Amino acid sequence: MPSLYKKLTAVRSAVSVPKGQRNTFAGYDYRSLEDITKAVNPVCQANGCGYFLSDNPEEIAGRVYIKATATFY
């Protein structure tokens, strides 16, 4: 298992995704899933690892949110 942690550390150290998108209605910057995957994919490929993405709606205090999960392998 230690090599998995080394790979995860290498990916996390190498990837930096700027907030390149703008929500003009609410006035905030954000990074899209596409921005993130474009940055992560080549680093994962170079380190022999990968990930799965999933998302599910979740209701909290009467509001619905999307819970996104990335599973690293």
* pLDDT tens digits along 3-56: 989 999 999 999 999 999 999 999 999 999 999 999 999 999 999 999 999 999
Is residue 50 classed exposed, middle or buried when 0-12, 13-18 and 19+ CB atoms within 10 A define those classes? middle
pTM: 0.76
The answer, yes or no, to whether residue 1 has pLDDT greater than 70, is: no
pLDDT the model gives residue 2? 67
DSSP 8-class letter at 14: H
pLDDT of residue 72: 94
Q: In the beta sheet, which residues pair with residue 56? A: 67
- Tell me how far apart the alpha carbons of residues 53 and 36 are, in angstroms, rounded to a whole number: 12
**SS3 call for 16:** coil
